[in-house]
Structure 1
């Protein structure tokens, strides 16, 4: 029997009636990472070509046993895989897994009638994630239960290890469980610890603590600060409000060192951050003036400012303040003008882009429909789009293409390892 060819405990959902076990042959992998058999029937933790025994009714089934495993099946590296909802594809060998992600990206573009050169993907490895959102539930007096939500459930899977996370975050799990213990004074509190590894140490922003009752008591705040100090965390905040700080959390972008605001967005892995920024800067080479739209705290801004003058805009004033605060100590830049601006309600207009050669946009998952419409109207010669959602990227790309741009090339980026998600950077030219 090949690795992974074993029985699986069936999991049922609310209102689900389990039918008799049936044999199914998996043909493809669906968008959420489940295997798809004719019908269709979706079976998690299966691979193309496998013959499996499944239970359940309707389209959603549960795996009982792999009867004939694929040659691409491997032993999942995490002991929590199968119950934890964080990963879907640890049982798949790396090369076919990555090829599937790239094929999905190409298919998403094709649905908008877009063909382009898709470059070899960048793939982050295990133990590289610098950001995790860990859910906490009441445990004992000294430690809380900490982990991820179970697959297709609100239940918590308490974790001891997480193979995707940086070793520094993994090593801090016991301390994070202690940190979370004082957060349950109110029965409605359901805290989430947003943990970010920075050059200064761990930065923890806590959400989900009940505030209507007045928030944490003074005693609980003292306990929180004491436990943060014991663990040598850089900072702990509650919904952005500082509860403890030993050092300002910092991250480097090119020549700049930025002091992060609480809860600030960062690329999930520093390796992907560097690779994407290098790709964007190379694509912007030769520009005289660059617009960096949805710039955040400067993920691309500072590398772009080594190429040309940059106008940077983002909806978050705290991100713009952090970016601006790093400018004075960053050598070798051509100059940056930064503005807090809602690019949905007030996109940078085509007329404002008259002297801009290159525009970069890196929006949230909803995409940049309003800003893309202005880029399409503008005289900008090159546009670089960064996206965590290929579907909204394809929609926005269609707007640019219809206005006379061509999508020259796309770099797929896999930094959410063993999940169905794929990111990308696309380069457009007139």
Structure 2
């Protein structure tokens, strides 16, 4: 006998149009969306505004702006609102920067940390030297190229980008032609990691299907031809060089010229890099022995070595090799000893820091939990933390504070303009 019960189904969205309601925006949420009572998060709104919103749950869509804040400005980018790269171009700059600084103060407060937080350093528009461009198949001669849409895997094909260096924007037609040969396999979803160097654009491509043998000989030939015609400095596929002009791409870091390995990490804007370096160098004055941990290709190393001998360590062997090679062209340094070392599995031990009086640490987003514990155990008198994640910085700062350090001042840094992302440099003293 058949059961009369209806078949079981998962949660169903209610039929019919999405409901609309009117809300007052009270504050800004952590991701740059307006925050109304509920909580309800509404993109592209500002505190003090009233809006009609569409949808259910915490995340709604803006249906109509009913009253605008005096802090609202015209977004400078024609793709704003569709492109997922920027969230806050509609907010007047002074208020936007004040919000970022207050967010940082609030993050530290959750770890019960109070300190002097300096005025935020903001990179100007048109200054980003690193961008990641997603490619989708277009014609035989030119791919579609752009950023992901907001809350979607779809692509916004960009023609303008007010955050990027104009030389990157000008190269978009050449980059579309470069990406055209990358779709021999249907599973390929290439991303072009573009870095502006002193020799031109350095492009490292990821996401090309490799299990089927990777790019064919014909595809590589077309790639190299497009790179040469586009005037690119270098093109690599997951770090393997596919094309290079006469000289390897390089940048100047303090007193040294560093030839970059493919895909090397650099700070997103040269202006923020210079401001962070100046702050670190000022804080390191008077040191007799310095450790530069998570040193990368030497963002701080070479300038620190003008003060005192430096021990530099990083888990990326290619970066450490580039740093070491650059030493020959940087005379007048007090000495640098560099080592490729995984600072998570093998942090520099307190005993190894016995003769070190200043430690600089610049970890990835996950922070430096293991290394901070060793700095806390050591006799180091001053530590300088550089961070792209205030939450993990706060956790590591709490470790140092409980060991007798004091966080004496913090410089907030905005180099990801019009995003909710904020970075910082903090100085600790015993």
- Compute the TM-score of the two structures, normalised by the length of structure 1: 0.96
Match of residue 153 from structure 2: 154
How many Å apart are 1:65 and its aligned residue?
A: 1.2
CA distance in 2, matches of 1:166, 1:257: 21
Answer yes or no: is the 8 Å Cα contact 1:265–1:296 preserved in 2.
Answer: yes
How many Å apart are 1:20 and its aligned residue?
A: 2.1
How many Å apart are 1:333 and its aligned residue?
A: 0.6
CA distance in 2, matches of 1:77, 1:20: 31
How many Å apart are 1:64 and its aligned residue?
A: 1.1
How many Å apart are 1:254 and its aligned residue?
A: 0.8
How many Å apart are 1:121 and its aligned residue?
A: 1.0
Show the 5 A alignment for 1:234-383: 234-246=233-245, 247-383=247-383
For the structure 1 residues 348 and 321, does the alpha-carbon distance in structure 2 shift closer, same or farther, using more than 3 Å as the test?
Answer: same
Answer yes or no: is the 8 Å Cα contact 1:130–1:197 preserved in 2.
Answer: yes
CA distance in 2, matches of 1:56, 1:300: 48
1:173 aligns with 2:176: no
CA distance in 1, matches of 2:413, 2:14: 37
CA distance in 1, matches of 2:216, 2:130: 28
CA distance in 1, matches of 2:59, 2:255: 50
CA distance in 1, matches of 2:239, 2:383: 34
Match of residue 71 from structure 1: 70
Q: Please state whether the residue corresponding to 2:22 is helix, strand or coil.
A: strand
How many Å apart are 1:389 and its aligned residue?
A: 0.1
Match of residue 55 from structure 2: 56
Match of residue 143 from structure 2: 144
CA distance in 2, matches of 1:20, 1:404: 55
CA deviation string 1:129-155 (max 9, x = no partner) = 000000000001110000001000100
Answer yes or no: is the 8 Å Cα contact 1:198–1:251 preserved in 2.
Answer: yes
CA deviation string 1:65-109 (max 9, x = no partner) = 111000000000000000100000000000000000000000000
CA distance in 1, matches of 2:233, 2:310: 31
Match of residue 40 from structure 1: 39
Q: Please state whether the residue corresponding to 1:49 is helix, strand or coil.
A: coil
CA distance in 2, matches of 1:261, 1:66: 48
Match of residue 384 from structure 2: 384
CA distance in 1, matches of 2:294, 2:427: 17
CA deviation string 1:258-303 (max 9, x = no partner) = 0001111100000011110011011000000000000000000011
Answer yes or no: is the 8 Å Cα contact 1:387–1:425 preserved in 2.
Answer: yes
CA distance in 2, matches of 1:197, 1:107: 34
CA deviation string 1:336-385 (max 9, x = no partner) = 00000000000000000010010000000000000000000000000000
CA distance in 2, matches of 1:89, 1:103: 16
CA deviation string 1:5-33 (max 9, x = no partner) = xxxxxxxxx96975322111000110111
Q: Please state whether the residue corresponding to 1:73 is helix, strand or coil.
A: coil
Match of residue 4 from structure 2: none
CA distance in 2, matches of 1:20, 1:195: 42
CA deviation string 1:11-70 (max 9, x = no partner) = xxx969753221110001101110010011100000000001110001110001111000
Match of residue 132 from structure 1: 131
CA distance in 1, matches of 2:31, 2:283: 32
Match of residue 426 from structure 2: 426
CA distance in 1, matches of 2:27, 2:177: 43
How many Å apart are 1:167 and its aligned residue?
A: 0.5
Answer yes or no: is the 8 Å Cα contact 1:16–1:56 preserved in 2.
Answer: no
How many Å apart are 1:331 and its aligned residue?
A: 1.9
Match of residue 411 from structure 2: 411
How many Å apart are 1:112 and its aligned residue?
A: 0.3
Answer yes or no: is the 8 Å Cα contact 1:16–1:57 preserved in 2.
Answer: no
Answer yes or no: is the 8 Å Cα contact 1:286–1:307 preserved in 2.
Answer: yes
CA distance in 2, matches of 1:66, 1:331: 60
CA distance in 2, matches of 1:394, 1:245: 42
CA deviation string 1:294-337 (max 9, x = no partner) = 00000000110011100000000000000000001102210000
Show the 5 A alignment for 1:181-200: 181-200=180-199
Q: Please state whether the residue corresponding to 1:26 is helix, strand or coil.
A: strand
Show the 5 A alignment for 1:23-34: 23-34=22-33
Q: Which one has a bigger Cα radius of gyration? A: 2
Answer yes or no: is the 8 Å Cα contact 1:372–1:399 preserved in 2.
Answer: yes
Count, aligned residues = 417
